């Protein structure tokens, strides 16, 4: 819209510029054609660059054209025009460089970089431990595990408690963390035996049904799905309808929620991730707006658009699971929002008052070829020892008496 408006403004400007010579008339026409070409190029750039960079390029392009027309009409030396364009390009380039530097310094809520602290059988890892020896030790044919990032500390602690260290270190890729989407894919392909995730999306269920694979879901604990904003955001409480309004695009400014007059940056997670599936449940039948995207350079010069990682702008909102947002990330620049006056906590998850709390599961393919140790392992997870590890990690056991 900005580009189209500027193009029309230039066209109107051309109507009022006196054309003293045929040469000037041709030059002005050339400028207009260049502006149209710039608009075309801008639409191409729209799919390969961030909007802020695109806007800067548009400004340089159109200001250069306007400067040319004005300077020519004033019959200033042509050398002024020749210096004008590179000068503005340099200024825009410096501005973009500074802007990108500032953006990179804004804290993010990013997942993979925190996992190393939870690798099983590594020195000084952050996994919780049992106070006594595990009642179960699995030897031979150890189940391969995978799951959601937020649940990795839980099932990694299971493995460290139950698997013999020498067998674990001898085997490869026993405990993966492929995120929810990747974990379901690995289970579908038979690469892992058990995954630890939130419930699947409809499409994921359909994929297993198409293969004739029956999934078995064993609830092993509970967790809260939380929304968070910058710590300086004056909004502390929203309703379910507010969340639906934000992620449907009906609510676009924080002032509509008694906050500052700032446009809402609503970040999302990748499709089929556990948290995105829960957002879809929150939204019900209400369509979700297209997510913010960031651009990465791929192989052979390709530009890859992917869902932008949450960056803690003052006007941003994002979502995740309570444990991940408060324990794994430990970002003291975000704050959790209350939903309908209920703050997400262990107590409100346990008593069911927080509206976005749900079970997470140990999930496996219930076939005749399944690993014979799966049932034994899950039985232990549901025992006092397994539930103790869930509680000590920071989640809510499925047994409320724990």
Domain boundary assignment for the chain = 2-105, 118-218+366-397, 223-357
Q: Answer for the pair 194, 363: CB distance below 8 angstroms, yes or no.
A: yes
Distance CA 233, CA 330 (A): 18
pLDDT at 26: 60
- On the question of a common fold for 118-218+366-397 and 223-357, the answer reads yes
Q: Is 131 in a helix, a strand, or coil?
A: coil
- Dig out the tokens for 339 from the structure: 């939903």
Contacts of 11 (CB under 8 A, 6+ apart): 32
Q: Which long-range contacts (CB under 8 A, 24 or more apart) does 329-333 make?
A: 329/109, 329/110, 329/114, 331/107, 331/109, 332/231, 333/107, 333/230, 333/231
- CB atoms under 10 Å from CB of 222, counted, come to 20
Please tell me the distance from the alpha carbon of residue 227 to that of residue 229, in angstroms, as a whole number: 7
Q: What is the pLDDT of residue 196?
A: 97
pLDDT at residue 300 in the model: 43
Contacts (Cβ under 8 Å, ≥6 apart) of 70: none
230 DSSP β-pair partners? 334
Between CA 402 and CA 391 the distance in angstroms is 8
Task: Find, among 231, 185, 225, the residue nearest to 363 by Cα.
Answer: 185
**Cα 157 from chain centre:** 26
**What's the chain's Rg over C-alpha atoms?**
28
State residue 305's pLDDT score.
56
CA distances from 154 to 2, 6, 80, 128 (A): 50, 56, 67, 8
Cα of 224 vs its chain's centroid, Å: 17
CA atoms of 391 and 222, how far apart (whole Å): 10
The second-level CATH assignment, the architecture, of 223-357 is 3-Layer(aba) Sandwich (3.40)
Going by C-alpha positions, the residue among 28, 92, 161 that lies closest to residue 175 is 161
Topology (CATH) of 118-218+366-397: D-Maltodextrin-Binding Protein; domain 2 (3.40.190)
Residues 6+ apart with CB under 8 A from 188: 207, 208, 211, 213
The confidence score (pLDDT) of residue 355 equals: 93
C-beta atoms surrounding 184 within 10 Å = 28
The pTM assigned to this predicted structure is: 0.68
Burial of 123: CB neighbours in 10 Å, binned 0-12, 13-18, 19+:
exposed
Nearest to 213 by CA among 232, 185, 250, 233: 185
Give the Cα separation of 180 and 146 in Å (integer).
Answer: 9
Quote the longest CA-to-CA distance of the chain: 96
Distance CA 259, CA 314 (A): 11
Q: Which residue stretches of the chain have pLDDT < 50?
A: 1, 3, 45-50, 79, 82, 296-303
């Amino acid at each position: 819209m900005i580009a189209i408006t500027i193009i029309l403004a230039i066209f109107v400007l051309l109507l009022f510029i006196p054309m003293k010579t045929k040469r000037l008339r041709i030059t002005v026409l050339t400028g207009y054609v260049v502006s149209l070409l710039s608009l075309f190029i801008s639409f191409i750039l729209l799919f390969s660059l961030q909007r802020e960079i695109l806007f800067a390029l548009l400004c340089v392009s159109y200001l250069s054209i306007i400067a040319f027309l004005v300077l020519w009409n004033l019959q200033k030396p042509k050398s002024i025009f020749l210096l004008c364009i590179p000068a503005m390009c340099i200024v825009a380039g410096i501005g973009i460089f500074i802007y990108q530097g500032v953006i990179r310094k804004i804290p993010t809520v990013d997942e993979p970089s925190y996992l190393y602290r939870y690798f099983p059988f590594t020195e000084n890892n952050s996994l919780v431990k049992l106070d006594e020896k595990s009642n179960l030790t699995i030897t031979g044919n150890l189940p391969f595990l995978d799951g959601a990032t937020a649940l990795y500390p839980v099932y990694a602690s299971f493995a460290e408690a139950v698997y013999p260290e020498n067998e674990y270190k001898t085997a490869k890729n026993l405990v993966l963390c492929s995120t929810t989407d990747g974990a379901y894919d690995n289970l579908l392909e038979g690469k892992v035996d058990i995954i630890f995730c939130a419930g699947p999306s409809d499409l994921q269920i359909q994929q297993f049904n198409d293969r004739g694979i029956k999934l078995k879901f064993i609830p092993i604990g509970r967790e809260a799905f939380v929304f968070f904003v910058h710590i300086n955001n004056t909004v502390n409480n929203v309703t379910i309808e507010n969340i639906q309004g934000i992620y449907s695009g009906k609510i676009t400014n924080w002032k509509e929620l008694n906050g500052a007059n700032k446009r809402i940056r609503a970040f999302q997670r990748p499709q089929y991730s556990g948290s995105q599936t829960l957002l879809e449940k929150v939204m019900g039948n209400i369509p979700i707006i297209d997510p913010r995207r960031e651009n990465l350079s791929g192989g052979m010069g390709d530009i890859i658009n992917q869902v932008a990682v949450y960056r803690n702008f003052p006007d941003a909102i994002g979502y995740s699971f309570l444990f991940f947002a408060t324990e794994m990330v430990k970002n003291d620049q975000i704050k959790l929002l209350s939903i309908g006056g209920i703050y997400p906590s262990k107590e409100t998850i346990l008593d069911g008052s927080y509206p976005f709390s749900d079970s997470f599961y140990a999930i496996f393919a219930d076939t005749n070829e399944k690993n014979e140790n799966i049932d034994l392992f899950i039985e232990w997870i549901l025992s006092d020892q397994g539930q103790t590890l869930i509680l000590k990690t920071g989640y809510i056991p499925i047994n409320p008496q724990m």
